[in-house]
Amino acid sequence: MSLRFAVLTVSDRSARGERPDASGPALIEAIRAQGWKLIRQSVVPDDLNIVRELLESWSDRDDVDVILTTGGTGFAPRDVTPEATRAVIERDAPGLAEAMRAASAAKSPHSMLSRAVAGIRGRVLIVNLPGSPKGAVENFQVVIPALDHAVKLLREDPEAEKGH
């Protein structure tokens, strides 16, 4: 199944042009390496309303299966990506965030500071990833094995239940 993705980089400095976005392109490369499609991408500042509105808009268009956010998941006062995500999701998908934190714990004690969440809006899965290119890709790789099945379930694809 060819999954359709959107990538949203949440970074004040990248949005202002002070620093190039490295995480978004790294995720796009990882998406394409799986043979999946990138439908859209954007870079926005750490602003709760902007992030929330974009997540709503992208989810409600129903032309993507998975939205990956990168950035804004830490402890800094302007890190609001989890709050924006919680404001738009209809159902939590905590196992994805738990798996990412568990896998990251072996590599960095800072993984305990991640506030990333994952959830579902309509038929779209939204997953928060760290802001560093390395962290974003490593965490994305943790959830890759579950994405095809997750999207089949969201689409109510009869193939989703085969093999269970």
The pLDDT tens digits of the residues spanning 57-81 come to 999 998 999 999 999 999 999 999 9
If you count DSSP H runs as helices and E runs as strands, how many of each does the chain have, helices first? 6, 6
φ, ψ of residue 21 in degrees (nearest 5): -75, 115
pTM for the model stands at 0.97
Chain-wide mean pLDDT for the chain? 96
Q: Which tokens go with 9?
A: 């980089």
Instruction: Give the whole-number percent of the chain exceeding pLDDT 90.
Output: 90
pLDDT at 4: 98
The band of 164, judged by pLDDT with boundaries at 50, 70 and 90, is: low
The pLDDT tens digits of the residues spanning 101-115 come to 999 998 888 889 999
Helix, strand and coil percent figures for the chain, each rounded to 5: 50, 20, 30
The pLDDT tens digits of the residues spanning 8-48 come to 999 999 999 999 999 999 999 999 999 999 999 999 999 99
| Domains along the chain with CATH numbers | 4-161 (3.40.980.10)
pLDDT at 147: 98
With residue 4 as reference, give the H or E element that holds it. Answer: strand 4-10
